Amino acid sequence: MTPSEFYVYADGYLQNRDDKRENDLRNIYNLACAVRVAVNAKHMPNFEHMFTKPKAAMSDQAMFKTCEALFKAYGGKMEDI
């Protein structure tokens, strides 16, 4: 198996795992909706509101430090820039 084929299989495996996790979360949410309505007779909050995490914005300084660390990790020197 070549590295590119391995990457394709690994990417597919990770995507499948994420899809199963998302499906499990939706099933748990639907069960919670049914239980809450049956017990409390109240509406549940939106699924996306409960399970999505806001992505933190990266500042310019943090982006530069990350790029600099990657540049050094791959053998680059700051004099080359």
pTM score over 0.85: no
The confidence score (pLDDT) of residue 24 equals: 94
Of residues 67 and 78, the one with the higher pLDDT is 67
Average pLDDT, the chain: 81
Evaluate whether 36 touches 44 at the Cβ level (below 8 Å).
Answer: yes
Tell me the residue type at 50: M
CA 78 – CA 70 distance, rounded (Å): 12
Q: Which of 23, 49, 61, 70 is nearest to 78 (CA)?
A: 70
CA distances from 56 to 31, 47, 53, 63, 65 (A): 30, 20, 9, 12, 16
